[in-house]
Amino acid sequence: MLLIIQFLSEVYTTSYLKAVIIQYIKQNYVSLNGTKVFHQIKGLPQGCYLSSILCELYLADMDDIYFKHLKSENDVFVRGVDDYLYLTFDSQKADTFLKLINNGIADYGITFQRSKTFTNFRGPLTSFPFYGYKFYPLCWKVEPDFSEWVGDITARMYLNPKMTWNDLTKRMKMITHIKLHELIIDSNYLHKFAIMKNIYLCSKIHAAKYKAIHNFLTENGGGTPPSSTQCLTSIVAAARVITCKVISINNGINDFSHREVKIVVLKAFEAVLGPTGPFRSLVNLLKVTTGRMLTTKLSTRFKKLLKSLIKNN
């Protein structure tokens, strides 16, 4: 078997790739709080690129043997890493799929968690989670699943002890797309309030990550911290990235404006950073910025929408 990388114009053999993977697994070290280093002798860190690649190779082979016959023109079979979604009108196929899920696949050492298995095969299903999103089949609504982000999110983040304030500015642009898949911001699928709610909640995660990194750098001496004005600049830049994505997906639809989306993003940062504590001056600047934007001509409908978002989320 040969793997051809078109952009690099290089060819790699399977044996070479296996050697690289094995070397990576055997030389995997984990740093704890930047003080102790451990040699990991079993498994891979959750979330690393290689983990998802190996999962894809393993489960793709299993899918071809056990699930391929369940797919036809009128069926939907999707796997996101190790999450499965199967839609079919054929009750016999649905029953076969459920039996595979409930019994597991011994040949591959695979078992599925029944507590995370959802079906409307034997009764109505109000909602179900899939690949970080929540689907509501009865009202055709999709929104991000934020259940895993409740409480302190620092434990879910990799914070490098060598990180600097400059890195925070860079990461602001990298994490602006968290949960912001086009499925949840496209007006072809959702109405405006649902889209704005999704933008607001996604931006709150973005703000929580910003807050966690900021606090980490403050506590671990990441250099001279930026001024509140500099912090505001990076947040506004992140808001601009999110706004451009939303507007580009809803291109030609007058119901969305750059100013409205940007206000929603900045208000999310206000809510997370809070009016007191180390971010007080930054939040005051955010309020001044959004206040100026709100004094311009905006619809009464949007102002009511914004008020509802802040109050209920």
Domain ranges of the chain: 153-312
pLDDT score recorded for residue 96 = 94
Counting other chains too, the contacts that 49-54 makes at CB distance below 8 Å and 24 or more residues apart are 50/21, 50/24, 50/25, 52/81, 54/21
165 neighbors 175 (Cβ within 8 angstroms):
no
Looking at the chain, list the stretches that DSSP marks H as alpha helix, in order from N- to C-terminal side. Answer: 14-26, 49-66, 91-103, 165-174, 192-219, 228-249, 258-273, 280-295, 300-312
Residue 158 has a pLDDT of 67
To 5 degrees, how large is the angle CA 57–CA 182–CA 246? 145
**What pLDDT sits at residue 1?**
42
Tokens 């504590």 found at: 277
Length of the chain measured in residues: 313
Looking at residue 292, what DSSP letter applies? H
The predicted pLDDT at position 107 comes to: 95
Give the pLDDT score at 263: 95
Q: Which of 173, 171, 172, 200 is nearest to 184 (CA)?
A: 200
Assign domain 153-312 one CATH number from 3.40.50.10420, 1.10.3720.10, 1.10.357.90, 1.10.1660.10: 1.10.357.90
Q: Do the Cβ atoms of 127 and 111 come closer than 8 Å?
A: no
pTM over 0.85: no
Per-residue pLDDT of the chain (313 residues; tens, 9 = 90+): 444 444 455 677 888 888 888 888 888 777 666 567 788 888 777 667 788 888 888 999 999 999 999 988 888 888 888 889 998 889 899 999 999 999 999 999 999 998 889 998 778 889 988 888 888 888 878 888 877 777 667 666 767 777 888 888 877 776 555 567 887 888 888 888 999 999 998 899 889 888 888 888 888 776 788 899 999 998 998 898 888 888 888 876 767 788 999 999 999 999 999 988 889 999 999 999 999 998 877 888 898 999 999 988 8
Neighbour tally for 308: CB within 10 Å: 13
Give the closest residue to 202 by CA, choosing from 174, 175, 180.
180
